[in-house]
Structure 1
């Protein structure tokens, strides 16, 4: 009886192989050591600066995200130190666990010891896993959630035990407190089940129980979004309208580049293996998800986690190739590790990062924030000393505001204000701030300057890399054109 017979008959599946715990843990912990060693080399990413501030304003929701990642950032810095390395400890732990889960997925597909280890190695050297593991981001914890959802979904299909819906619901509920994207893989899987079956797993009260668990856990953030007029929908709309066309054009190339071109044979082998087995709906979920992401103009990485599920399934069938061409296989995996490290980890000198920014712009966003703050401090000196008590620093985005809160006090700067994302909610300049306004603008624009009087550029950010802040204008205006309480809603920015 072949794999397809197991799918059609509904008979009990054969037991899974033993878990290769020791070698898999060695692979995962090796990645943890590398990430820890490199975690403090460049500096904070702009998003991390934002998460740390959000963590000091704990809430059930924020304009652009649910609360889990800011909460984790606060816990990590409180426990491990208020440094770059301290912030990233739990991100590293999450990545180690992710690699273990990918090996467990390989085991569920029937991979024996060597297939599990090969799947773990492929995950460990992939660019996406290393990239999101290096920093604190919503994608870091989202990846772990997707892998757990994949694991529980595969267990559900393999065993036909409806109780796995509870594990799916629990994981999905927690993931929804981190990022709403988790609805995508679950939706893709449900569509795939309706198309190719087995539909019997949907005819169970456990499905409703899983939905109830997920809804109960996600409810506090949903209520927060409702009470604040669903700001995250405005953010998502901005992303799609601004970047949708580019996202669609780059979707396929980035699917290959962000995981690694060398791993393409593995995920193709994994897709073929699943398509011929009881795991067919899991295989179909990936192209279904790609169609959805392309339709909405989402970012390419939205679909990457399901590629890792394919890689997990592809380890075992690729063993024949590895055995026949052991030398070539070692070279391929080493090249994958090296290229992934260069493009996603802080291994290059900061001055050379422009080489990798076209593929991974996040590298550049970790460089230059102290120097950025130095430039703002120099521009602040143009404000007459007797007017500084009523003057305002106006940051155009949350990265700038986060950096100034982090590095500004040591340079004698007052707290900045920003209308971007949740910074808009956290603080507004008082109406008594009737003096000069130092505007920080990625590029000079009437969107901001029309609200102030007599604006003149007094400085420019010159970064050593071509990141978003390179060329940012520092513009000094004489005063706001109207009270801040009136002006503030007019300059709010969701994206």
Structure 2
């Protein structure tokens, strides 16, 4: 019996229309603001190809390098790959709906809901590690569900390939694998764990992730240091907002759909094989609450649950009277409009204030060329005879990435930063003993305050559009370094 026996046909034409509209909208808006701080970092990392970086494996920087090489180092050129990843995600989630027996209407509903959800809009507009992560989680879920439904152990090969690529992009895929593993152990079908193909799938995953693991080992596991810092600094805040954000990530209107997906396998005997998916989500959430991880780490798993819950929700709407359908449709339309406003750059930057309350990433796409202008103005305050030995020291990777991208056309030298992987790309040569143009503030209790002294603020950057992002109000100071860079650098390094 083939794996597609008994399943509806894939609704390629209507799903294709959804994907085409998605691509058109994302492309039209991809250059409206500017680079996100993380995108500037990925561009910089892509210019320094490696098997790993301090805070992420290599796939996203490699994608940034490929996209900008093919389509230009502009926001629109970089985001071509993000758009393609988003389109593929919609197709895969529609295929997951088909895996549960969903016909043409269910697949179309799932595709529209996925493409218009806030989370998918954000990660399809920007190139982030989550852009590839959400697709890879969806592919692993599709392959794993096929494995559970058919019992064909050869699907372990696809699961292993997806897991290996996922680990080479972001180690959060371990959460998905652990959640599904617990689900299968608890609810079955456990026979798939005895398949001889399981070892082959593990071998494929290990082969794909080995270079990244070796890089982490050779650099003393910096990603674990970063994760520990996130838990320590933001753990309480992450836990407090976890549940409300789960309800909001896709859209409040879609929360009943994925909740129906959690319930459905327990109500329909024909979907007993899918109970592992319904168990995986609470397991992943519990792991994140214990670890203090960011709430959005669990969001990719909402998409397979959305596909699982689509059919019972559509049945409920069909059985209801006209007022129910009208009210549900109106609520969905309002939430979709809010998702577009929150997730895509449709508003002028000066009107972003309310949006920043729900999506701070919107503000991080505004003002980087002007930021470089401010740095250039501060740099000009250094006497001509001292500039040849002066250093620009950026406080974080976004600032360093912006100066690296926009600085040369403004006469600025290469920036340095002790933040994340920029620390590996430094330090400045010890021959640079002149003034330090410090971008950002220094904690008086930090080692930097003893190594970089005598600071006097010569300028402050303010966004022309009044967007209150992380760089608005950042001071630019001229300082003195008290030790050679080679000695100071290890103490200046920051992992978060």
TM range (shorter): over 0.9
Task: Give the number of equivalent residue pairs.
Answer: 483
Alignment match, 2:159: 168
Give CA-to-partner distance per residue, 1:364-419, whole Å, 9 cap, x none: 11011111111111111221111111111100100000000111111111111111
Q: TM-score, normalised by structure 1?
A: 0.95
Alignment match, 1:421: 420
Alignment match, 1:143: 134
Give CA-to-partner distance per residue, 1:180-204, whole Å, 9 cap, x none: 0111111101011111222111111
Give CA-to-partner distance per residue, 1:425-466, whole Å, 9 cap, x none: 113211111111111115654532321232111121222211
C-alpha contact 1:125 1:336 (8 A) present in aligned 2: no
Gap change, CA 1:385 and 1:370, over 3 Å in 2: same
- Does residue 1:315 correspond to 2:305, yes or no? no
Alignment match, 1:471: 473
How far apart in 2 are the matches of 1:398 and 1:210? Answer: 36
Q: Name stretches of at least 5 consecutive residues in structure 1 with no aligned partner.
A: 1-11
How far apart in 1 are the matches of 2:15 and 2:332? Answer: 16
What is the SS of the residue equivalent to 1:27? Answer: helix
What is the SS of the residue equivalent to 2:358? Answer: coil
What is the SS of the residue equivalent to 1:303? Answer: helix
What is the SS of the residue equivalent to 1:191? Answer: helix
Alignment match, 2:290: 295
How far apart in 2 are the matches of 1:443 and 1:246? Answer: 24
How far apart in 2 are the matches of 1:381 and 1:370? Answer: 17
- Does residue 1:439 correspond to 2:438, yes or no? yes
Alignment match, 1:452: 452
C-alpha contact 1:390 1:436 (8 A) present in aligned 2: yes
Aligned residue runs from structure 1 range 67-466, under 5 A: 67-276=58-267, 277-278=271-272, 279-323=274-318, 324=320, 325-442=324-441, 445-447=444-446, 448-463=448-463, 464-466=466-468
Alignment match, 1:9: none
Q: Give the C-alpha shift of residue 45 in structure 1.
A: 0.2
Q: Give the C-alpha shift of residue 96 in structure 1.
A: 0.4
Q: Give the C-alpha shift of residue 319 in structure 1.
A: 1.5
Alignment match, 2:485: 484
C-alpha contact 2:442 2:449 (8 A) present in aligned 1: no
Give CA-to-partner distance per residue, 1:323-379, whole Å, 9 cap, x none: 344433432332222110111110111011121112111111101111111111111
What is the SS of the residue equivalent to 1:178? Answer: coil
C-alpha contact 2:248 2:255 (8 A) present in aligned 1: no
How far apart in 2 are the matches of 1:37 and 1:313? Answer: 31
Give CA-to-partner distance per residue, 1:217-270, whole Å, 9 cap, x none: 100111111111111111111111111110000101111122111111111222
Q: Name stretches of at least 5 consecutive residues in structure 2 with no aligned partner.
A: none
Within the candidate set 8, 28, 43, 1:17 is matched to 8
What is the SS of the residue equivalent to 1:422? Answer: helix
How far apart in 2 are the matches of 1:304 and 1:63? Answer: 23
What is the SS of the residue equivalent to 2:306? Answer: helix
Bigger shift: residues 440-449 or 91-100:
440-449
C-alpha contact 1:13 1:159 (8 A) present in aligned 2: no
C-alpha contact 1:275 1:284 (8 A) present in aligned 2: no
C-alpha contact 1:443 1:472 (8 A) present in aligned 2: no
C-alpha contact 1:46 1:365 (8 A) present in aligned 2: yes
How far apart in 2 are the matches of 1:32 and 1:331? Answer: 25
How far apart in 2 are the matches of 1:196 and 1:13? Answer: 23
How far apart in 2 are the matches of 1:459 and 1:446? Answer: 23
Gap change, CA 1:122 and 1:411, over 3 Å in 2: same
Bigger shift: residues 292-301 or 199-208:
199-208
